[in-house]
């Protein structure tokens, strides 16, 4: 059995934060890479960019409430 077994992503089963992470990856042009090779295939720079944007959006959502 392969360690790199692909797990199907079901958007309706993702939490709001997970959906946001996928949306940001798509905006940065990284979604194809993530879907093909997984999150571990991203560089630390790419991961940091996604994390920073997730944090920024969370802050914006708190301010709007």
What pLDDT digit, counting tens, does each position of 18-57 carry?
999 999 999 999 999 999 999 999 999 999 999 999 999 9
pTM value?
A: 0.78
| Residue 34 or residue 2, greater confidence | 34
Considering only residues 51 and 4, tell me which one the structure prediction assigns the higher pLDDT. 51
CA distances from 31 to 34, 50, 59 (A): 5, 11, 23
Longest CA–CA span in the chain (Å) reads 48
């Amino acid at each position: 059995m392969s360690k790199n077994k692909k797990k199907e992503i079901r958007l309706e089963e993702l939490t709001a934060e997970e959906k946001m992470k996928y949306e940001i990856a798509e905006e940065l042009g990284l979604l194809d890479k993530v879907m093909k090779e997984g999150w571990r295939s991203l560089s630390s720079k790419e991961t940091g960019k996604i994390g920073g944007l997730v944090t920024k959006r969370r802050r914006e959502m708190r301010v709007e409430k």
